[in-house]
Amino acid sequence: MNETMTKMTLRDEDFELLMLHADGELPAELVAEAQNLLAESAAAQAIWQDLQLGRELVRGIAVDALAPAQVKQTRVDLSLLPGQVMRKLPNDEALHPVAETPRERGLIAWLQNLGIGKVGFAMGLAVAAVAFMVVKAGPVVEQPQGERQAEIAAVPGTNIAAPSDDPSVIIEEMEIESGTLMVHPPHEQGDSTIIWHFQDNNAAQGAGGEG
């Protein structure tokens, strides 16, 4: 019983591991762990298939429809959870850890070779910070707001087209809680922009049926 339960459930960490693997963002040292998980767990295999299916679905249907709709900011993720095709991106970077680069390791090792440990470095940093504040006590010029670049979270692996004309309708942002959202730009000048809101079970049916 316990063995069955173990095989049919998946921990959050394992789910994240599979998501990163599906996105090709898994560090090399964790790939074997993900493959072992896939070999041993039926739940992992099912979710892996869903992830692949979700990526194809989103790329094939939603993204192609979004691209000509001049989407400026699309906070969507390609992950597929039960009942969700696209979902909001988390605000934290937990799913996208930044790998430590060899250069960083080299700098730390170099400092340690000089006999500078963490405490010595911190003390030096504190002294330098005080001096830096004295030197930099001049005016601080803020970058004008208009020149700040907005965060653009585009769907990976796709090329969202830049606006060609001045479209009358721009979808700036989407918050997708469930289901799938498809945007069809107008066929002719003066036509409406059509936004389909699909429940998950209706996505394929609606996409195939229209026209």
Partner 1 sequence: MIAMTWQKGAMRTLIPALALLACAQASAQVPQAPNPPTQVPTQVVERASFQVRVIEASKGAPQVDPKLGDLERELRSLHRDYAHFTLIKTETQNLTTGTRGTLRLPNGELVIQFLGLSPDKVQRVRHRVEMPGMNATVRAIAPGGRTLDVLQVGDKLVIVATTVGR
| Using rule CB under 8 A, residue 67 touches partner 1 | no
| Using rule CB under 8 A, residue 144 touches partner 1 | yes
Q: Where are the alpha helices (DSSP H) in 71-117?
A: 102-113
Element (H, E) at 15: helix 12-22
Can you tell me the distance from the alpha carbon of 12 to that of 84, in angstroms, rounded to the nearest whole number? 16
Complex with partner 1: residue 13 or 188, whichever CB lies closer: 188
| Using rule CB under 8 A, residue 84 touches partner 1 | no
Can you tell me the distance from the alpha carbon of 149 to that of 157, in angstroms, rounded to the nearest whole number? 21
Distances (CA, A) of 176 to 21, 53, 105, 136: 23, 18, 40, 45
Place of tokens 């979700």: 54
| Using rule CB under 8 A, residue 172 touches partner 1 | yes
Count CA within 13 A, CB hemisphere, residue 112: 7
DSSP letter, residue 180: E
Of the ranges 14-22, 29-37, 95-103, 196-204, which one interacts with partner 1 (CB under 8 A)? 196-204
Residue selected from 120, 156, 161, 204 as contacting partner 1 according to rule CB under 8 A: 120
Residue selected from 132, 156, 161, 204 as contacting partner 1 according to rule CB under 8 A: 132
Of the ranges 13-21, 48-56, 98-106, 137-145, which one interacts with partner 1 (CB under 8 A)? 137-145
Q: Binding residues for partner 1, per CB under 8 A?
A: 111, 114-117, 120-121, 123-125, 127-129, 131-132, 135-136, 138-139, 141-142, 144, 166, 168-179, 181, 191-199, 202, 206, 209-211
